[in-house]
Amino acid sequence: MERLKISAGEDTEAMLQFVLEDLSDEQLDELDIHRTPAPDYGMNNEPITISVVIGAATVAAVTRLIGQWIETRRQIKQLEIVAQVPEDHPETRNALVKLAGDNAAVALRYAEPSADLELPL
pLDDT of residue 42: 59
Largest CA distance in the chain: 56
The conformation of residue 120, written as its DSSP 8-state character, comes to -
pLDDT of residue 119: 40
Q: Which residue has the higher pLDDT, 73 or 48?
A: 73
CA distances to 71, 110, 112, 120 from 117, in Å: 18, 7, 10, 9
With beta carbons less than 8 A apart as the criterion, state whether 52 and 36 touch. yes
Q: pTM for the whole thing?
A: 0.59
> In the predicted model, is pLDDT for residue 52 greater than 50?
yes
> In the predicted model, is pLDDT for residue 28 greater than 50?
yes
d(CA 12, CA 35): 9
